[in-house]
Amino acid sequence: MAELLKLRKRPATFILLGVNVALVALFGYFIAYLFVVVLPTDDGLPPGVIDALLATLRPEAAGGYAVSNSSSISGPIALILGVLATGSEYTLRTVRLMVTQRPRRVALLLGKLGALAVGAVLLAISTLLSAVLSATLIAVLEGQPTTPPSGSDLIAALGAAWLVLLAWVSLGVALGVLLRGTGLPIGIGLVWGLVVEATFSALPFGGTIEAIKRGLLSVNASALGGSLTPGIDVTGGFGSVPEIEPVVAVAVLAGYVLVLGGVAVAVFARREIS
């Protein structure tokens, strides 16, 4: 409860939620829609690309599309949330006081992880809310039906988005503990998400590259999103996502959570605090 209260009282938590809503709407929907509006129909793109992109922007596809993009858009936000929860204790020099007031370091960090799991739920809700509202607005502009996703689809999308974002939160927690700060962990995490993952995701299949891609957060998020929207390509006709079964994607993402969380707990429990 103490860690939940600390998370709620941290202004950055609500700032990050607001930024996430704005980024999902802007980069996930309106820039893509602007691309469709201004792109000439004879631009030499393969047939069906524009129609495929428009299909991903429909309200009924909002759940899967939001999950597919949750790693690249909301993932860095979740990472920052995780870094701030652990790294700020070192930056503000409150970590020594914190460990002297609590009986066990393992229980302390597990409490942080539990609070951040709740934070990841709120982040996932804000992602889906922004996606549904943005898709509905675009449907109105296009004169298309505004049928929202079914309740079961939204629940499945919420669970999938939560797992994706929890993996990113765990990465932030681990970086915050390992590097004992906020600036460098956030920088490294953003480079990983916005440069490394984006670069490998754009590379074609084949050999070692495909094996690496199968372990990326963004690729497994896209696989989960695709499983929630059968018949609709949530990559919008672009990108190259290997065939990954949903259960495999879930296992990979859960592995990130367990391994990164375990590393953070082990290091925090054993390292001497100066």
Under the banding of pLDDT at 50, 70 and 90, the label for residue 238 is very low
pLDDT beyond 90 at 143: no
Higher-pLDDT residue of 24 and 38 is 24
Contacts of 265 by beta carbon, 8 Å cutoff, 6+ apart: 106, 109, 110, 113
| Cβ–Cβ under 8 Å, residues 233 and 74 | no
HSE-up (13 A, CA, CB side) for residue 184: 10
The amino acid sitting at 104 is: R
Q: What is the pLDDT of residue 236?
A: 44
Tokens representing 74 are: 């909301």
Which letter does DSSP use for residue 80 in this model? Answer: H
When pLDDT is averaged across residues 127-140 and rounded to a whole number, the result is 96
Q: What is the pLDDT of residue 103?
A: 64
In angstroms, rounded to a whole number, what is the distance separating the alpha carbons of residues 17 and 81?
10
Under the banding of pLDDT at 50, 70 and 90, the label for residue 96 is confident
Q: Which of 154, 172, 177 is nearest to 66 (CA)?
A: 154
Q: What is the pLDDT of residue 39?
A: 66
Tokens representing 264 are: 């953070």
